[in-house]
Amino acid sequence: MSALLVIDRLSVRYGSRDVLRTLSLEVARGEIVALMGPSGVGKSTALRVVAALQPFDDGRIVVDGFALAPGPVPPESRLVPLRRRVGLVFQAHALFSHLSALDNVTLALRHVLGQSPTEADAVAEQLLASLDVGTRAGAWPSQLSGGEAQRVAIARALAPNPPLLLMDEPTAALDPARRTALGATLRQLSKQGRGLLIATHDTEFARANADRVIQLTA
């Protein structure tokens, strides 16, 4: 079976500085891969490049058959297939502060997938409930705890049902109990057949939950 995500000799340079040099990795469906290494080693950069938020200089990226080439980021109109395939959960959640938790999740359902408000609400409520934040649907982002905000952000990224989920430092703001619960959630997502690529420097979390750990060195 072909891998869901293939990163082949990826290089990213900021001016004369190499941020990533010939990184290669694969993520299969149903697999959790942890990308580890000290701060500044390019973990987040790798995720941002896969999500086409920033350009790369060399190598090749293929997400479920959709290929990204080196050079400037293509216009959004050419990235529609990629957006359907990749969800990204930001380290600081980046929830839309003017929308309730529920509306954060329904935004893409309604305006990208074209679902009716009723349909979208039903999907979003179910997603939030499955992530144990169903009761917080009406809350504003500013009223959510760190753990709640993160789960709403996961629900938002999962709403368009992408096969690949990228997560940037998901345990950064969590207490030990929440970390364990997050691990369970991620394993459940992988059981549904999704591939997960997680940038983290939490060794313990990676060991406990990842199928594979890829170590980046400076």
Among 21, 83, 178, 187, binds another protein (CB under 8 A): 83
Question: Which span (3-11, 25-33, 79-87, 117-125) binds another protein, by CB under 8 A?
Answer: 79-87
What is the closest distance, in whole angstroms, from the C-beta atom of residue 44 to another protein in the complex?
A: 12
- 154 interacts with another protein by CB under 8 A: no
Considering the complex, state which of residue 48 and residue 200 has its C-beta at the smaller distance from another protein.
48
What is the closest distance, in whole angstroms, from the C-beta atom of residue 114 to another protein in the complex?
A: 11
Q: How far apart are CA 3 and CA 69, in angstroms?
A: 18
Decide: 206 and 36 in contact? Cβ < 8 Å.
Answer: yes
Considering the complex, state which of residue 89 and residue 206 has its C-beta at the smaller distance from another protein.
89
Q: How far apart are CA 59 and CA 79, in angstroms?
A: 18
Question: Which span (80-88, 169-177, 185-193, 198-206) binds another protein, by CB under 8 A?
Answer: 80-88
Among 3, 25, 28, 94, binds another protein (CB under 8 A): 94
Decide: 117 and 197 in contact? Cβ < 8 Å.
Answer: no
Percent helix, strand and coil across the chain, each to the nearest 5: 40, 25, 35
Residues numbered 113 to 152 that lie near another protein (CB under 8 A) are 140-143
Decide: 50 and 197 in contact? Cβ < 8 Å.
Answer: yes
Residues that bind another protein (CB under 8 A): 51, 53, 76-77, 80, 83-84, 86-88, 90, 92, 94-98, 107-108, 111-112, 140-143, 156-157, 159-160
